Amino acid sequence: MAEAKRVPEDNQDKNLEMEGFENFFEGEEAATMAGATISGDMFMQQQMEKLLGRLSELITLSVDQRIETSKIANQLIDNQRQLIATQQILIKLMERSIELTRHVTSIEERLPGVFELPRVVESLRQRVAQLEGIETR
């Protein structure tokens, strides 16, 4: 009789497996992994949003700097044009100054003769008076 209650060895392996035991742990691992993945995905999404925000700020800053650089470059070009115009005016003024200096120099060369004129005129007056016999005081 004892042998009649005996379970065949084929059925014995199935009983030892404890049906559902593996499913119990697999479900828990899957739930843990799913939760970890969801929170990881959310963290990654937040990080990506932060990085995209920073990237957009950097791009905006870069564009603003390029615009400002362009404005400065245009202002520099305008300043250079004004400088060239001022230099041209200065060159013309210097040419006029040279012409005036030459003219003044020629006048200064004739000045001694002009200063002598009153004496020459007086001398001539006295001579004419002598020739005509007029007394002068």
Does residue 63 fall inside a structural domain? yes
In the prediction, which pLDDT does 7 show?
Answer: 55
Does residue 100 fall inside a structural domain? yes
DSSP assignment of 84-112:
HHHHHHHHHHHHHHHHHHHHHHHHHHHHH
In the prediction, which pLDDT does 133 show?
Answer: 80
Does residue 6 fall inside a structural domain? no
Secondary structure (H, E, C), the chain: CCCCCCCCHHHHHHHHCCCCHHHHHHHHHHHHHHHHHHHHHHHHHHHHHHHHHHHHHHHHHHHHHHHHHHHHHHHHHHHHHHHHHHHHHHHHHHHHHHHHHHHHHHHHHHHHHHHHHHHHHHHHHHHHHHHHCCCCC
pLDDT at 4 over 70: no
Does residue 84 fall inside a structural domain? yes
Does residue 102 fall inside a structural domain? yes
Confidence bin at 29 (pLDDT 50/70/90) = low
Does residue 47 fall inside a structural domain? yes
Q: For residues 87 and 125, which has the higher predicted lDDT (pLDDT)?
A: 87
Does residue 62 fall inside a structural domain? yes
> Tens of pLDDT along 59-99?
999 999 999 999 999 999 999 999 999 999 999 999 999 99
Does residue 14 fall inside a structural domain? no
The parent domain of residue 51 ranges over: 20-132
Domains of the chain: total: 1
> Tens of pLDDT along 15-26?
555 565 565 555
Average pLDDT, rounded, for the chain: 82
